[in-house]
Amino acid sequence: MKDLIIRNCNLGKNEKTNILIKNGIIEDINENIPQIGCSELDAENYFVTSPFIDSHFHMDATLSYGLPRVNKSGTLLEGIQLWGELKPSLTKESIKNRARKLCEWSIARGTLSIRSHVDVSGDNLLAVDALLEIKDEMKDYIDLQLVAFPQDGLLRSDCLNNLIKSLDMGVDVIGGIPHYERTMDDGSESIKILCELAEKRGLLVDMHCDESDDPNSRHIETLTYHTNRLKMHGRVAGSHLTSMHSMDNYYFSKLIGLMIEAEMNVVPNPLINITIQGKHDNYPKRRGMTRVPEQIKAGLNVAFGHDCVMDPWYPLGSHDMLEVAHMALHIAHMTGINEMITCFDAVTTSAAKVLHLDKYGLKKGSYGDIVILQCKDKIEALRLKPNRLYVIKKGNIISSTNPTDYKLNIEGNSEYTNLIF
């Protein structure tokens, strides 16, 4: 932890301010911070924000694209099949090497908190062991929150004991995948078992839920029921919820009330939802992402996840959460000013609520975790997905790069420009 003054910070309000970080904590945000003999950094009136947060990721599978082969259909089910084919050849070192590389990309992109699901279906819990080590090794640079995830179905693969063991090893959150159980009844039973386990242990829940185009896949209804029954309000997240895109408006109007009652967090994954869903459609072809504008209007907390980077499900990505938010606003038709700002918040402040992060944000008493972007405000950040000029963790600069300027030659004259408007 380091003392640092960042001067000429633009917080998106067209006004300059300064930020003082002492012992890794933001001590003051003020126009008139005197010199105190510590290091200083000039933000040059570029936009300053809290770090980006990925609310949903799979770090054990990341950067495994093409192993053992490519997902030709691009479907969720073939991706799960491919992951099953790859698992027998995995080593702890290979998982760690890929995870560390992804963490390096994340830091460069200003993403300093990640909730990663980790597969607990296999008896050796190899991925759990690997990611717990990465979590510890990278703790000074990036915060990892791990979710015990029964990829092959809790009941379908009979892995409850493995999941409990992973929690004993230090995994933070309980996950599930009810729509991948053999029957709807088994899916509902898995939710009951997992929520009761979370309530007993005082843990958060993050459930893959209804990741399909089937309007009759309604496990989110069951999840809200058990959240209310067990009084776990605000501690549960429903991830994906893509079936809502196909539900009729009457049923959705009932469901949204149940979600509000449960204080459910919602975590869509725009890049993968628009890619995987609608695969069985001809035309019209469904977009697949859950009903984000309606959920936000109803008062639910919505945060976006990247989900995948170059793995059996998704061939692209560099773990840029601005790319995720940029895609989301297009899919959801959220191009109004306040709507775009909300999309930026879905990868920052709203995501911090999902992860229950302590001391997050640009305010006194929060950790001195800051990203300086080559732009002027949130909307321009979404438009440009600009350079992360400085990434700061508890007062320490952990990544930096130069501003991008373009040298033009027009009518024999040289001049420089950038894309800031």
380 catalytic? Reply is no
Contacts of 217 (CB under 8 A, 6+ apart): 179, 184, 210, 243
* Degrees, nearest 5: CA angle 409-414-416: 95
Which amino acid is located at 201 in the chain?
R
Given 181, 211, 323, 380, which residue is catalytic?
Answer: 211
Cα dihedral 419, 52, 311, 90, rounded to 10, equals 140
Tell me which H or E stretch contains 37: none
Domains and CATH numbers, the chain: 4-50+361-406 (2.30.40.10), 52-355 (3.20.20.140)
Listed in sequence order, the residues at least 6 apart from 277 whose beta carbon sits closer than 8 Å to its beta carbon are 212, 213, 242, 245, 286, 287, 288, 289
The tens place of each residue's pLDDT in the chain, 421 residues long, gives 789 999 999 999 777 899 999 999 999 999 999 999 999 999 999 999 999 999 999 999 999 999 999 999 999 899 999 999 999 999 999 999 999 999 999 999 999 999 999 999 988 999 999 999 999 999 999 999 999 999 999 999 999 999 999 999 999 999 999 999 999 999 999 999 999 999 999 999 999 999 999 999 999 999 999 999 999 999 999 999 999 999 999 999 999 999 999 999 999 999 999 999 999 999 999 999 999 999 999 999 999 999 999 999 999 999 999 999 999 999 999 999 999 999 999 999 999 999 999 999 999 999 999 999 999 999 999 999 999 999 999 999 999 999 999 999 999 999 999 999 9
